Chains A and B, each alone.
Chain A
Amino acid sequence: MSAPVSKEGDAGFCWQRLRAFTAARIGLGSAGGSLPTASLLAFQLAHARARDAVHLAYDVDRMLAGITQRGWRALAVASAVRDRAEYLKRPDLGRKLSAESRVLLGDQQPAARRYTLALVIADGLSALAVHHHALPLLDRVVPRLLEWGWDIAPIVVAREGRVALGDEIAGLLPARLVVMLIGERPGLSSPDSLGVYLTYEPTLTCNDAQRNCISNIRPEGLSYDIAGHKLVYLLEEVLRRRLSGVNLKDEFDLLAAPTATAGLVE
């Protein structure tokens, strides 16, 4: 049967209508209790696509160009990982800067200045995700923050990075708050899902409970507008409450957002 309901044409129509509300693989039909051939092969193809996507290289030059086109400053760094194969096996190295990148970031800020916010765009497990979604998301966030006078560090483009790489970057810039935009692990239906992690006062011993996360940012998932709105809201809350992570939930009010001289725009 083509679906677990009886009248062939009507059954297909029914599932087709339901598929308008989800990309989940519903109404696949069955052969006995098992998957019918077409559904089985469709899955194999999706997996093949995802496998190929995992190994796509990060186009750092294109990302830098996109940032500078917007009139923002940018820096390129790399983690201590040598290549993609090592990235997959050694997350510890993906959380540390390469020696050169550490020097580069350390040299950025000779004065005792501390940015309010560091923004990092890392490839993570899907360069495709940051290629597609990182800048459209920042377009909905950065101009607003600049308007409010936030002191934002040059945007850091980080190759072969993990979430915690942002902690070291924020420490060197230095910045009070770090937002990491990173490619999430590709799913069969979503090879390009972007994740965003916020950490207040990041240190090298931070754990995940100290971070807030916005996940699945892509047009088919969480839209740029909603994700951007949420990110701005969380940024304000984090600064007001002077904390991030699980303790931030459902606690509001207090203080005003700090102001400082512009740092992102030259």
Chain B
Amino acid sequence: MTTYTHSIDGTGYRFEGLRVLLARASPARAGDVLAGLAADSARERVAAQIALSEVPLREFLQQPLIAYEHDEVTRLIIDGHDTVAFAPVSHLTVGGFRDWLLSYAADATSLAQLAPGLTPEMVAAVSKIMRIQDLVIVAAKCRVVTRFRNTIGLAGCLSTRLQPNHPTDDRKGIAASILDGLLLGSGDAVIGINPATDSLQAIIPLLQLVDDVRERYRIPTQSCVLTHVTQQIQAIERGAPVDLVFQSIAGTQQANSSFGIDLALLAEARAAALSLQRGTRGDNVMYFETGQGSALSANAHHGVDQQTCEARAYAVARAYQPLLVNSVVGFIGPEYLHNGKEIQRAGLEDHFCGKLLGLPMGCDVCYTNHAEADQDDMDTLLTLLGVAGCTYIMGVPGADDIMLNYQSSSFHDALYLRQVLGLKPAPEFQQWLQHMGIFDSAARVHRLGLDHTLLGLTGPVGA
């Protein structure tokens, strides 16, 4: 194991191996303190960052953070590494890589070509020596486009997942939230329901509900019921209308095992979804969610800091060509991300790392009521992510998810971000919104008459 050293003001700092070096270099956050991995002082952190900046990128290929023999995510990362794509930066150190990313030579094309040559550890490492503005400007240069029934991730676009959750999966309640979201221009990334009850009997009627709405109003979008992947495979086997298959994923084999999944199961799920051939514009059929702290929460982090574990989850995601990936950044709670500042930094790191690895990265801009955060913190993160070119955000009625008990972004938040940054929904969806009279030609919400056809969505109740 390599020992990395750096001296500051006559004090020598030693870091045994890349795992320790990465953890000590990580900007401060509660989860790394909880795991006993964080730097002991501000100076130690900067010493680690300086030492990290001098590490050649190649070293991350030679020294896996978690043993190749014991972790299938490590094997996926090492075996899947594209040395040809890596060539343009293979001579660089982490610090040199940061300079290259910021250079004018790094543009949408060169970054897309580079993505298969990067490992999550390289990307996590460089993020640790980047400030917020670096994370924003580099992510904004990346362009990742995916397709199912519409086109996600084009320049100048911001999509939204309409998240109409209901604590008892009441169909009329869910329909009412879908109606509200559509009338405010939300839902082009996916109409995705987190069911309260994790059973096949509960999810099939929900899949049917969203599919009926989508068919009836010819909405160019896709649907998803976010339950365990095994349930969705069974739903497909029973002939249910499954567009996207969802799964929460993490960056170590052991953490994935705590979710009840492995890589083979994800491949099986993808094959099942592809077999239905429901996509009209493309075949990106997977939807993944992640979040810093999930590996530690499952006691499956192997001494790796939470941000690096998170980046490793993106290596899992990219193996399955997903339509959508988002970190649920503030959901996990204050023991991992203590306050608004930590949540903001983490959200931008996750978006940056995902984009650099070639993922259609969105973000659930969110917090819980036991975190030291509020709506002002979310507005800040939302705005920064918009500037960074975030692929999509969540749309929850009034930002209040009444099933999962946390605050996410609202339909109004998306309208704010689109207005202030001149962003539009996916083009197919934008066209539909205008056709339905929901948006005007300047993508502003119209006042709709009570005779609007969409009001039939909730049945006789809403008409």
- The answer to whether the Cβ of B458 comes within 8 Å of any Cβ in the partner chain is yes
In the complex with contacts A18-B176, A50-B369, A187-B406 CB distance below 8 A: yes
- Interface size counted on chain A using CB atoms at 8 A: 63
Instruction: Choose among A88, A188, A207 the residue that contacts B370 (Cβ–Cβ < 8 A).
Output: A88
Q: Which residues of B lie under 8 Å from residue A90 when comparing CB positions? A: 34, 335
**Contact B398–A43 (Cβ < 8 Å):** yes
**Contact A216–B196 (Cβ < 8 Å):** yes
Q: Which residues of A lie under 8 Å from residue B458 when comparing CB positions? A: 18, 21
**Contact B335–A47 (Cβ < 8 Å):** no
Q: Which residues of B lie under 8 Å from residue A33 when comparing CB positions? A: 184, 412, 415-416, 418-419, 444-445
- The answer to whether the Cβ of B214 comes within 8 Å of any Cβ in the partner chain is no
**Contact A209–B450 (Cβ < 8 Å):** no
Question: Smallest CB–CB gap between B358 and chain A, Å?
Answer: 29
Q: Which residues of A lie under 8 Å from residue B196 when comparing CB positions? A: 215-216, 221-222
**Contact B450–A7 (Cβ < 8 Å):** yes
CB-CB nearest in chain B for A213: B198
Interface hit among B82-90, B95-103, B254-262, B426-434 = B254-262
Question: Smallest CB–CB gap between B175 and chain A, Å?
Answer: 8
Within 8 A of A (CB), among B44-66: none
**Contact A249–B200 (Cβ < 8 Å):** yes
**Contact A4–B461 (Cβ < 8 Å):** no
Q: Which residues of B lie under 8 Å from residue A215 when comparing CB positions? A: 196
Q: Which residues of B lie under 8 Å from residue A11 when comparing CB positions? A: 450
What's the Cα separation between A228 and B398 when bound, in Å?
A: 32
Interface string of A53-81 (1 = CB under 8 A from B): 11000000000000000000000000000
What's the Cα separation between A190 and B369 when bound, in Å?
A: 11
- The answer to whether the Cβ of A44 comes within 8 Å of any Cβ in the partner chain is yes
- The answer to whether the Cβ of B251 comes within 8 Å of any Cβ in the partner chain is no
What's the Cα separation between A47 and B372 when bound, in Å?
A: 12
What's the Cα separation between A125 and B398 when bound, in Å?
A: 23
CB-CB nearest in chain A for B445: A33
What's the Cα separation between A53 and B73 when bound, in Å?
A: 40
Q: Which residues of B lie under 8 Å from residue A17 when comparing CB positions? A: 461-462
**Contact B447–A250 (Cβ < 8 Å):** no
- The answer to whether the Cβ of A6 comes within 8 Å of any Cβ in the partner chain is yes
What's the Cα separation between A117 and B86 when bound, in Å?
A: 56
Q: Which residues of A lie under 8 Å from residue B175 when comparing CB positions? A: 21
CB-CB nearest in chain B for A205: B299
Question: Smallest CB–CB gap between A100 and chain B, Å?
Answer: 24
What's the Cα separation between A46 and B399 when bound, in Å?
A: 12
What's the Cα separation between A30 and B297 when bound, in Å?
A: 39
What's the Cα separation between A23 and B403 when bound, in Å?
A: 10
Q: Which residues of B lie under 8 Å from residue A213 when comparing CB positions? A: 198
Within 8 A of B (CB), among A106-139: 125
Instruction: Choose among A22, A30, A91 the residue that contacts B34 (Cβ–Cβ < 8 A).
Output: A91
**Contact A35–B34 (Cβ < 8 Å):** no
CB-CB nearest in chain B for A184: B405
What's the Cα separation between A22 and B401 when bound, in Å?
A: 11
CB-CB nearest in chain B for A222: B168
**Contact A39–B398 (Cβ < 8 Å):** yes
**Contact A28–B398 (Cβ < 8 Å):** yes
**Contact A14–B397 (Cβ < 8 Å):** no
Question: Smallest CB–CB gap between A90 and chain B, Å?
Answer: 7
Q: Which residues of B lie under 8 Å from residue A26 when comparing CB positions? A: 176-177, 179-180, 397-398
CB-CB nearest in chain B for A7: B450
Interface hit among B1-9, B115-123, B228-236, B271-279 = B228-236
What's the Cα separation between A26 and B170 when bound, in Å?
A: 15
CB-CB nearest in chain B for A191: B369
Within 8 A of A (CB), among B197-236: 198-200, 228, 230-231, 234
Instruction: Choose among B183, B260, B402 the residue that contacts A245 (Cβ–Cβ < 8 A).
Output: B260
Question: Smallest CB–CB gap between A82 and chain B, Å?
Answer: 15
**Contact B369–A23 (Cβ < 8 Å):** no
**Contact B167–A221 (Cβ < 8 Å):** yes
Q: Which residues of A lie under 8 Å from residue B412 when comparing CB positions? A: 28, 30, 33-35
- The answer to whether the Cβ of B319 comes within 8 Å of any Cβ in the partner chain is no
Q: Which residues of B lie under 8 Å from residue A89 when comparing CB positions? A: 30, 34, 334-335, 338
**Contact A4–B258 (Cβ < 8 Å):** no
CB-CB nearest in chain A for B417: A33
**Contact A209–B258 (Cβ < 8 Å):** yes
Q: Which residues of A lie under 8 Å from residue B257 when comparing CB positions? A: 207, 209
In the complex with contacts A24-B397, A207-B257, A207-B258, A43-B375 CB distance below 8 A: yes
In the complex with contacts A24-B166, A88-B335, A246-B230, A187-B370 CB distance below 8 A: no
**Contact B370–A190 (Cβ < 8 Å):** no
**Contact B398–A24 (Cβ < 8 Å):** yes
CB-CB nearest in chain B for A4: B183
**Contact A4–B445 (Cβ < 8 Å):** yes
**Contact B177–A24 (Cβ < 8 Å):** yes
Q: Which residues of B lie under 8 Å from residue A207 when comparing CB positions? A: 257-258, 298-300
What's the Cα separation between A256 and B326 when bound, in Å?
A: 45
Within 8 A of A (CB), among B244-300: 257-260, 297-300
Q: Which residues of B lie under 8 Å from residue A6 when comparing CB positions? A: 447-450
Question: Smallest CB–CB gap between A73 and chain B, Å?
Answer: 32
What's the Cα separation between A4 and B407 when bound, in Å?
A: 22
- The answer to whether the Cβ of A1 comes within 8 Å of any Cβ in the partner chain is yes
Q: Which residues of A lie under 8 Å from residue B228 when comparing CB positions? A: 246, 249
**Contact B177–A209 (Cβ < 8 Å):** no
In the assembled complex, 28 residue pairs joining A and B whose CB atoms fall closer than 8 Å, in A order, are A4-B445, A5-B183, A6-B447, A7-B449, A21-B170, A21-B175, A22-B174, A23-B402, A24-B165, A24-B177, A24-B400, A25-B399, A26-B177, A26-B397, A30-B184, A32-B415, A34-B416, A89-B334, A90-B34, A91-B297, A91-B335, A125-B370, A185-B369, A186-B369, A186-B370, A187-B402, A213-B198, A245-B260
Q: A4-B180, A25-B400, A34-B416 are in contact. List 19 more A-B contacts (CB 8 A).
A: A1-B447, A5-B183, A5-B455, A10-B450, A21-B172, A22-B170, A24-B173, A24-B396, A30-B415, A33-B415, A33-B419, A88-B333, A89-B338, A92-B34, A125-B370, A188-B369, A188-B400, A190-B402, A249-B231
Chain A residues engaging chain B, CB cutoff 8 angstroms: 1, 4-7, 10-11, 14, 17-28, 30, 32-35, 39, 43-44, 46-47, 50-51, 53-54, 88-92, 125, 184-190, 193, 205, 207-209, 213, 215-216, 220-222, 245-247, 249-250
